């Protein structure tokens, strides 16, 4: 049944007859659900018909205007009118470009959903045609409904999550991407102003037309990549080493050591990072300690870019090591002890054992985790924003500091400056970097390649 | 294939639901404001004029969490005062510092009356979020000083109802420094150095460092803070100040942020710090009986002692342009800024009044901290509120003075760097 | 530090037992030295990791107000911070706590169910858009969320759900169809022979999922639920945008963040720390109890493979 469903399904699709206008089912091309009505699937036919009517009604009543609004992004500006002899001005509402954009995209998404329903309607008609030709009875609604628990389990289980993703994640992302092609910046805030489509101007500005902006962009990207690489691998290796130490067979109270580190996972990051910021401040406890030891005060976060970069990396270790430790200690316990024994008999040193047995094994298992961590570090908002705030500030960058990542820079551009368009361009670039890296990396991991072998 | 049909059932439901939602959603966006207008004659400055105000208006007021109790009392009194209008006032929590972001997120959902620091006025007006204050304009002009009126005005139109004023001033340890010592920067630093102590200033924050430049007549966006091209941060006067700042570190001024200052004042290694009244409770605790305050010292530039000119920051009540009941909202904003109510705000919450009469009340002037701040604001200029202030407050703009102080910018490069800074301030189009 | 002596004696005994006669005593000595070094390192690490935690706890019992003090140990101890936190008129922490708990529980149930069912479908069934969906899901989560926040806000507003706890639940659950990777990896390792046997007995896919796969997936269920449960306690940015000024509906993250703003920090800092302890302790306890599930969860079933 289901195990060879794949082959079966492929065959089915190809074998369905073409709808020609000689068949009554072809009515479904114009009136959705026509074939279902004709072949006694009343409820299903009604659902299709209702969808068509609802969509057409929506497009006539709202949709057309909304699509036009997406094209113009509004034409009427909000303003004030004071009648002669009166003191109190009256607000004349204008168009809200941002909502025009959002609702326009919503209309497009709804149209997309409607097209999917339409195609389903057509294929339903084709299937009914083939059943009629074969002289079989079509499924009743109750049968269809029952199939949800079995042959169409994927349909039942994926619909809701996909709708959630479509409206709460995909639609907002389209919205954000499109803002990159507008002049929605601090000078064009809604509802007082309109903004417009301006094509690739923002991309050009960031890629070179505006020297300061492109200089900042290149340097922030550079630091983001360096940060993500160092942060990911330092966490990873040190985490493994800590796990190895805890798992060392002569060490007692393993659960206690592990729990101590895990404590930090349970504390919300904005709390622990606030504490860290206080500790590393110019006159904070760490500096007091250094002074007492006669080493002198160190400027960790305020003025010295190199120091600040090192500090954020170190604090990131504090955040990240417990996770790696927790994950790898489970794996370490699973390494077959014979592998170690035979290596020892061959006279391998502990370092050799680590690099030739432990690391490859752990790496093999945790490759997907490593990729996720790399991406998470590219977008590591919390550590940078809550610890250094992107500082030290510099006169060389546009609205960014020396430890700013792309993600914190774009946050500043939106929250402090309201330059949504620039932030959006940066978001797109950041997304491209992440997506390309992870797709390539993920498709090279063993767990992806060997997906089918496992089962 | 049947699977897809079932999926389509879900899709259809979602389709219908979202279409219905958009139908209502779009209607919301075109909500028009009240059409009620008011004739000039009936407005004549009297707040009790019964011609003003919508019957049964429901309005929302924003205030910080700590102000809630006081604001609810005031709102209750307000409703009683206009009992014939049957108003309803709801007070919700929104810190003034974050109000701008909350308003710009969705003007329709913002409160009818909210308070913001006045330097955000420009951005809010440009975004179409503020109702002009025409009805009570005369009251504002009569009750508040020129700086407060300037702070409430944007591009020639009055918007705000001034509530309070803030500025930085000097906190110091009177067991080490005398009132005479803190009159000049050099005197203060010398005395502190002699006692083995140091004085603090947050050199990373332009709010605290720009006053050095202003002392020597450097202009930020022109005389009135309205001219995009009017900044003179590369003038000879500015260069003189920059050079003065570059020497301060050697003379013993320390770059200390407010948080660290609290610790250092307590352990006694720091004897002075310039900041605002929001730190007064903490500093009082840290300094104990040695707590003292004064206006900011003078600095010696261009051969003369010049008073450091801080920014005066006014908190303004504003009426939401999209308010459904703008007249009642205006009455509330006006009511909250009346003399007696500002005095109540001072009594309950130490909100320094902007109202001239209230500020000269003995209960206000009797408080040494407030007196020092008011003394400082006499020489202050209101922060400009034009939208280019975001350039001024940006990270890179903040970095210039800090780098000069820390000696990261060489003496020879000061002019070039200041030129770049001055240019960056007027950037309007970022493309 | 107490461990060093006591344990090394213990260790010697153990090593002695384990040591093969052929091994020389110098190797044994080296091993003991290694163990001691590891103990020392672990102790130092533990101290470093615990300092901030201890600092938060100590501050929550501190009687002196203010955020910036040079003394680590409070001068005066008090329980008032906790008392006033839970009976606070200005900041209704109690309401916030139960709001967050409610949102956490509901969104935990919804997203656990959605994530696991998606994972099951992708692991066991083969259908046309399976591979594209998986690639799509992999990259979709990588878009920086800040800018789409405003769009989400207006979408929720269009359906009348802003300033409502359900809006948060939707927000936290909507993405659950994307987070299936780890659980799918786990399901992949459950032998197919199990469900095939059940299917021969006439079980439907739904029944296989509920009666065969779920009972064999304890760790992954716990892991998914734990992650979903923790999200609302940490999220400040989205919750703030959606809840706005309706502060009785706030979650603890927004509320706590409010307490450390410039104007509040001096007065409320110790209460803030008390709040952190109240939030942190339940999560910490959950974590300790479910640690082993977490490990099994993150590594997927890959360990077995």
Answer yes or no: are the C-beta atoms of C38 and A254 closer than 8 Å: no
pLDDT given at position C296: 65
pLDDT level of residue A287 (50, 70, 90 thresholds): confident
Residues making up chain B, counted from first to last: 431
Q: Are residues B277 and B327 in the same domain?
A: no
Q: Distance between CA A45 and CA A48 in Å, rounded?
A: 5
Segment B32-39 mean pLDDT = 40
Please list, in sequence order, all residues whose beta carbon lies within 8 angstroms of the beta carbon of residue A339, skipping any fewer than 6 positions away.
A357, A361
CA-based nearest residue to B111, from B93, B125, B133, B98: B93
- Which of A24-28, B194-198, C4-8 has maximum average pLDDT? B194-198
Per residue in B321-376, pLDDT (tens digit) is 999 999 999 999 999 999 999 999 999 988 999 999 999 999 999 999 999 999 99
Q: Please give, rounded to a whole number of angstroms, the shortest distance from the CA of A189 to a CA of chain B.
A: 5
pLDDT band at C2 (very low <50, low <70, confident <90, very high): very low
Chain B residues in contact with C62 (beta carbon < 8 A) = none
**Which chain B residue is nearest to residue C257, measuring alpha carbons?**
B95
Instruction: Name the phi and psi angles at A231, rounded to 5.
Output: -60, -45
Nearest to C70 among B3, B97, B267 (CB): B267
Smallest CA–CA separation between B269 and chain C, in Å? 12
Above pLDDT 70, what percent of chain C? 88
Kindly state whether residues B65 and B142 are assigned to the same domain.
yes
Q: Which of B62, B97, B282 sits opposite C261 (nearest CB)?
A: B97
CA distance A175 to C151: 7
pLDDT, greater one: A111 or A369: A111
Are C60 and C38 contacting, i.e. CB atoms less than 8 angstroms apart? no
Q: Which positions in chain A touch C280 (Cβ < 8 Å)?
A: 266-268, 271
> What interface predicted TM-score (ipTM) does this complex get?
0.82
CB contact under 8 A, C151 and A268: no
Would you kindly state where each structural domain of chain C is located, as residue ranges?
3-60, 84-298
- pLDDT at residue C21 above 70? no
List the domain range (segments joined by +) for residue B186: 169-309+394-426
- Chain A and chain B share a number of CB contacts under 8 A equal to 241
Query: What pLDDT, in 10s, does the model give residues B305-324?
Result: 999 999 999 999 999 999 99
- Chain A CB contacts of B26 under 8 Å are 62, 66, 99, 103
SS (H, E, C) C137-149: HHHHCCCCCHHHH
The number of folded domains in chain B is: 2
Task: Output the domain CATH number for residue B286.
Answer: 3.40.190.10
Q: How far is A104 from chain C (nearest CA, A)?
A: 12
B354 shares a domain with B244: no
Strands (E), A63-204: 79-81, 90-92
Surface of C (162-181) touching B: CB under 8 A:
162
Question: Cβ contact (<8 Å) for C68 and B111?
Answer: no
Q: Are residues B70 and B186 in the same domain?
A: no
CA angle A88, B32, C164 (to 5 degrees): 120
Task: For chain C, give the longest Cα–Cα distance.
Answer: 79
CB contacts of A156 in chain C (<8 Å) are 206
- Give B23's pLDDT tier (boundaries 50, 70, 90): very low
Chain A: nearest CA to B51, how far in angstroms? 12
* C270 within 8 A of C191, measured Cβ to Cβ: no
Instruction: Confirm or reject contact between B263 and chain C (CB < 8 A).
Output: yes
Q: How confident is the model at residue B30 (pLDDT cuts 50, 70, 90)?
A: very low
Position A294 pLDDT exceeds 90: no
The per-residue pLDDT of chain C, averaged, comes to: 81
- Identity of the highest mean pLDDT range in A338-342, B282-286, C135-139, C158-162: B282-286
Nearest to C68 among B111, B259, B278 (CB): B259
Nearest CA in chain C to A421: C147
Stretch B407-412: mean pLDDT: 90
State residue A145's pLDDT score.
80
Name the neighbours of B, counting chains with at least 3 Cβ pairs within 8 A: A, C
Judged by a CB distance cut-off of 8 A, whether residue B23 touches chain C is no
Report residue A10's pLDDT band, with 50, 70 and 90 as the boundaries: very low
C267 contact A CB<8A: no
Whether residue B117 is contained in a domain is answered as yes
Do residues B105 and B252 share a domain? no
Of B3, B19, B322, the CB nearest to A110: B19
- Count other Cβ atoms within 10 Å, centred on residue A408: 27
- Quickly list DSSP for B148-176: HHHHHEETTEE--EEEEEE--EEEEETTT
Nearest beta carbon to residue B37 from set A88, A192, A392:
A88
B59 CB neighbour count, 10 Å cutoff? 27
Q: How far apart are CA B121 and CA B100, in angstroms?
A: 9
Is the per-residue pLDDT at B193 higher than 90? yes
Lowest mean pLDDT among A120-129, B21-30, B256-265, C125-134: B21-30
Instruction: Answer whether residue B3 shows pLDDT above 70.
Output: no
Instruction: Using CB atoms, pick whichever of B21, B93, B282 lies closest to residue C266.
Output: B282
pLDDT, position C302: 46
Q: What is the mean pLDDT of residues A15-42?
A: 83
pLDDT of residue A363: 81
Q: Are residues B217 and B273 in the same domain?
A: yes
Q: What sign has the CA pseudo-torsion B96, B101, B104, B105?
A: negative
Helix (H, G, I), strand (E, B) or coil at B199: strand
State residue B50's pLDDT score: 55
**Residue C300: predicted pLDDT:** 53
Does residue B113 contact residue B59 with C-beta atoms inside 8 Å? yes
Q: Is A241 on the interface with C (CB under 8 A)?
A: no
Percentage, residues of chain B above pLDDT 70: 87
Cβ-nearest to C206 among A150, A261, A454: A150
Report yes or no: A219 at the C interface, CB cutoff 8 Å: no
Instruction: Determine the Cα–Cα distance for residues B131 and B149; give it in Å rounded to an integer.
Output: 16
Overall fold of domain C84-298? MetI-like fold (1.10.3720)
Contact B109 C150 (CB under 8 A): no
DSSP state of B53: S
What is the per-residue burial (b if ≥16 Cβ within 10 Å, else e) of A249-279? ebbeeeeebbebbbbbbbbbbbbbbbbbbbb
Q: Based on the domain organization, do B146 and B256 belong to the same domain? A: no
Residue C183 pLDDT > 90, yes or no? no
Work out the number of other CB atoms within 10 angstroms of the CB of residue C82.
Answer: 19
Sign for the CA dihedral angle at B170, B174, B177, B178 comes to: positive
Do A251 and C39 lie within an 8 Å CB cutoff? yes
Instruction: Average the pLDDT over C29-47 and give the result.
Output: 89
Determine contact: C150 vs chain B, CB below 8 A. yes
Closest CA to A422 of A99, A173, A205: A205
On chain C, the residues whose CB falls within 8 A of the CB of B100 are none
CB of B17 within 8 Å of any CB in chain C? yes
Is the CB of C5 inside 8 Å of chain A's CB atoms?
no
Q: A326: distance to nearest CA of chain C, Å?
A: 6
pLDDT at residue C22 is higher than 70: no
* Predicted model pTM: 0.85
- Judged by a CB distance cut-off of 8 A, whether residue C140 touches chain A is yes
B30 touches chain A (CB under 8 A): yes
Q: Per the CB < 8 Å rule, is B22 touching A62?
A: yes
Instruction: Give per-residue pLDDT as tens, A222-259.
Output: 999 999 999 999 999 999 999 989 888 788 888 888 88
Q: For B317, which DSSP code?
A: E
Whether the bond into B13 is cis, omega within 30 of 0: no
Q: Which of B104, B127, B266, B282 to mutate to test the interface with C (most CBs of C within 10 A)?
A: B282
Q: Are strands B253-255 and B198-201 parallel, antiparallel or unpaired?
A: parallel
Tokens encoding A250: 């002569």
- What is the Rg, in whole angstroms, of the alpha carbon atoms belonging to chain C? 25
Min Cα separation A117/chain B (Å) = 6
Q: Indicate whether C234 pLDDT > 70.
A: yes
Q: What is the mean pLDDT of chain B?
A: 86
Count residue pairs from A and C with Cβ separation < 8 A.
263
Residue A138 DSSP symbol: P
- List, for residues A170-216, the tens digit of each pLDDT value: 999 999 999 999 999 888 888 888 999 999 999 999 998 888 889 99
- What's the pLDDT tens digit per position in C262-272? 778 888 889 99
C45 close to A (CB below 8 A): yes
Question: Contacts of residue A322 in chain C, CB cutoff 8 Å?
Answer: 49
Nearest Cα to A24, choosing from A104, A148, A133?
A133
Is the CB of A86 less than 8 angstroms away from the CB of B101? no
Residue B399 to residue A393, Cβ atoms within 8 A: yes
Q: Which chains touch C (3+ CB pairs under 8 A)?
A: A, B
In a domain, B93, yes or no: yes
In a domain? residue B409? yes
Mutate to test the interface with C, among A157, A167, A191, A322 (most CBs of C within 10 A): A157
From A81's Cα to the closest Cα of chain C, the distance in A is 29
Given a contact cutoff of 8 angstroms between Cβ atoms, the answer to whether C252 and C154 are in contact is: no
Are B395 and A412 inside 8 Å of each other by CB? yes
**Strand pairing partners for B199?**
B253, B272
| Judgement on whether residues B175 and B160 belong to the same structural domain of the protein | no
> Minimal CA–CA distance to B321: which of B10, B34, B28, B20?
B34
What pLDDT score was predicted for residue C26? 78
**Does the pLDDT at position B168 exceed 60?**
yes
C-alpha to C-alpha distance for A183 and B130, rounded to whole angstroms:
22
Q: Which domains does chain A have, with CATH numbers?
A: 15-199 (no CATH), 202-454 (1.10.3720.10)
Residues B162 and B173 in one domain: no
Separation of alpha carbons B116 and B97, rounded Å:
7
Partnered with residue B316 across adjacent β-strands are: B116, B162
Whether residue A74 is predicted with pLDDT greater than 50 in this model: the reply is yes
Shared domain check, B296 and B187: yes
B56 and B159 within one domain = yes
Residues A375-385, mean pLDDT to the nearest whole number: 89
Residue C183 forms contact with B (CB below 8 Å): no
Rounded CA-CA distance B308/B3 in Å is: 76
């Amino acid at each position: 049944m289901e195990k060879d469903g794949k082959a079966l399904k492929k065959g089915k699709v190809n074998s369905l007859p073409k709808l020609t206008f000689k068949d009554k089912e072809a009515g479904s091309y114009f009136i959705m659900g026509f074939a279902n009505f004709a072949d006694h699937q009343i409820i299903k036919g009604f659902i299709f018909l209702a969808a068509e009517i609802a969509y057409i009604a929506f497009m006539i009543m709202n949709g057309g205007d909304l699509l036009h609004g997406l094209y113009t992004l509004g034409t009427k500006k909000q303003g004030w009118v004071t009648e002669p002899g009166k003191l109190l001005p009256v607000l004349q509402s204008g168009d809200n470009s941002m909502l025009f954009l959002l609702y326009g995209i919503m209309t497009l998404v709804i149209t997309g959903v409607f097209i999917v329903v339409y195609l389903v309607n057509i294929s339903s008609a084709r299937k009914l045609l083939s059943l009629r030709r074969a002289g079989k009875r079509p499924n009743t609604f109750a049968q269809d409904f029952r199939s949800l628990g079995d042959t169409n389990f994927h349909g039942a289980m994926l619909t809701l999550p996909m709708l959630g993703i479509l409206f709460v994640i995909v639609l907002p992302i389209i919205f954000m991407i499109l803002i990159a092609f507008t002049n929605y910046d601090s000078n064009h805030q809604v509802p007082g102003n309109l903004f417009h489509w301006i094509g690739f101007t923002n991309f050009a500005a960031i890629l070179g037309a505006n020297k300061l902006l492109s200089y900042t962009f290149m340097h922030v990207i550079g630091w983001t990549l360096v940060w993500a690489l160092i942060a990911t691998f330092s966490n990873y290796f040190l985490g493994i080493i800590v796990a190895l130490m805890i798992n060392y067979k002569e060490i007692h109270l393993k659960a206690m050591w592990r729990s101590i580190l895990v404590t930090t996972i349970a504390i919300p990051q904005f709390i622990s990072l606030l504490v860290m910021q206080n500790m590393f401040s110019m006159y904070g406890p760490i500096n007091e300690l250094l002074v007492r030891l006669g080493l002198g005060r160190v400027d960790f976060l305020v003025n010295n870019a190199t120091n600040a970069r090192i500090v954020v990396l170190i604090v990131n270790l504090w955040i990240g090591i417990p996770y790696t430790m927790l994950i790898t200690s489970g794996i370490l316990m699973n390494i077959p002890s014979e592998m170690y024994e035979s290596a020892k008999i061959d006279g391998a040193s502990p370092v050799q054992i680590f690099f030739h047995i432990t690391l490859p094994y752990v790496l093999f298992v945790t490759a997907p985790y490593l990729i996720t961590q790399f991406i998470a570090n590219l977008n590591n908002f919390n550590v940078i924003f809550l610890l250094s705030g992107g500082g030290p500030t510099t006169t060389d960058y546009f609205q960014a500091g020396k430890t700013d990542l792309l993600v914190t820079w774009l946050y500043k551009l939106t929250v402090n400056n309201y330059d949504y368009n620039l932030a959006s361009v940066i978001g797109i670039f950041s997304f491209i970097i992440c997506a390309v890296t992870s797709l390539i990396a993920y498709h090279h991991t063993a767990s992806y390649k060997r997906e089918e072998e496992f089962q | 294939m049947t699977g897809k049909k079932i999926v389509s059932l879900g899709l259809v439901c979602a389709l219908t639901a979202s279409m219905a939602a958009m139908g209502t959603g779009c209607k919301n966006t075109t909500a028009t404001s009240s059409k009620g207008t008011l004739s000039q004659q009936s407005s004549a400055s009297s707040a009790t004029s019964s011609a003003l105000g919508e019957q049964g208006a429901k309005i929302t007021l924003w205030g910080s969490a700590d102000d809630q109790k006081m604001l609810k009392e005031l709102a209750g009194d307000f409703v009683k005062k206009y009992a014939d209008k049957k108003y309803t006032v709801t007070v919700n929590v929104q810190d003034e510092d974050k109000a701008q972001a909350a308003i710009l997120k969705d003007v329709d959902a913002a409160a009818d009356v909210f308070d913001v620091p006045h330097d955000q006025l420009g951005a809010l007006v440009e975004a179409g979020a503020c109702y002009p204050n025409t009805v009570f304009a005369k009251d504002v002009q009569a009750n508040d000083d020129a700086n407060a009126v300037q702070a409430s005005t944007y591009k020639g139109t009055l918007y705000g109802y001034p509530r309070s004023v803030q500025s930085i001033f000097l906190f110091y340890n009177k067991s080490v420094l005398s009132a005479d010592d803190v009159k000049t920067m050099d005197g203060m630093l010398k005395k502190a150095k002699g006692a083995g102590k140091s004085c603090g200033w947050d050199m990373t924050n332009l709010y605290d460092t720009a006053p050095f430049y202003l002392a020597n007549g450097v202009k930020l966006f022109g005389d009135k803070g309205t001219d995009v091209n009017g900044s003179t941060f590369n003038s000879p006067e500015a260069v003189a100040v920059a050079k003065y700042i570059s020497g301060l570190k050697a003379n013993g001024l320390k770059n200390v942020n407010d948080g660290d200052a609290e610790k250092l004042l307590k352990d006694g290694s720091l004897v002075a710090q310039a900041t605002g009244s929001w730190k007064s409770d903490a500093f009082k605790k840290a300094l104990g009986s040695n707590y003292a305050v004064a206006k900011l010292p003078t600095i010696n530039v261009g051969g003369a002692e010049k008073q450091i000119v801080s920014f005066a920051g006014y908190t303004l009540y504003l009426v939401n342009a999209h308010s459904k009941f703008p007249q009642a909202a205006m009455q509330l904003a006006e009511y909250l800024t009346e003399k007696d109510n500002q005095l109540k705000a001072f009594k309950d919450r130490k909100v320094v009044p902007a109202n001239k009469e209230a500020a000269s009340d003995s209960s206000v002037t009797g408080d040494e901290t407030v007196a020092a701040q008011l003394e400082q604001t006499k020489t202050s200029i209101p922060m400009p509120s034009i939208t280019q202030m975001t350039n001024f407050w940006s990270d890179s703009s903040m970095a210039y003075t800090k780098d000069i102080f820390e000696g990261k910018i060489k003496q020879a490069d000061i002019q070039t760097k200041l030129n770049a800074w001055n240019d960056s301030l007027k950037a309007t189009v970022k493309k | 530090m107490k461990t060093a002596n006591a344990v090394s004696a213990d260790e010697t005994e153990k090593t002695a037992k384990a040591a093969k006669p052929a091994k020389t005593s110098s190797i044994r000595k080296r091993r003991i030295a290694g163990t001691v070094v590891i103990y020392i390192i672990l102790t130092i690490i533990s101290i470093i990791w615990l300092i901030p935690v201890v600092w938060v706890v100590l501050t929550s019992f501190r009687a002196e107000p203010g955020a910036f003090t040079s003394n680590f140990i409070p001068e005066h101890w008090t329980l008032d911070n906790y008392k006033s936190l839970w009976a606070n008129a200005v900041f209704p922490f109690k309401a916030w706590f139960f709001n967050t708990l409610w949102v956490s529980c509901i969104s935990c149930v919804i997203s656990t169910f959605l994530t696991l069912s998606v994972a099951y479908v992708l692991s066991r069934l083969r259908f046309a858009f399976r591979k594209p969906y998986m690639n799509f899901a992999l990259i979709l989560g990588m878009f920086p969320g800040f800018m789409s926040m405003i769009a989400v806000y207006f979408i929720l507003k269009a359906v009348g759900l802003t300033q409502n706890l359900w809006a948060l639940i939707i927000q936290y659950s909507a993405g659950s169809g994307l987070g299936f990777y780890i659980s799918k990896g786990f399901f992949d390792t459950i032998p197919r022979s199990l469900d095939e046997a059940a299917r021969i007995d006439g079980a439907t896919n739904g029944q296989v999922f509920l009666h065969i796969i779920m009972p064999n997936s304890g760790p992954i269920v716990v892991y998914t639920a734990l992650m979903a449960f923790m999200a609302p306690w940490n999220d400040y940015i989205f919750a703030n945008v959606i809840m706005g000024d309706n502060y009785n509906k706030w979650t603890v993250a927004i509320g706590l963040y409010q307490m450390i703003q410039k104007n509040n920090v001096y007065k409320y800092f110790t209460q803030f720390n008390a709040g952190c302890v109240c939030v942190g302790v339940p999560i910490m306890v959950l974590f300790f109890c479910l640690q082993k599930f977490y490990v099994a969860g993150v590594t997927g079933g890959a360990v077995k493979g």
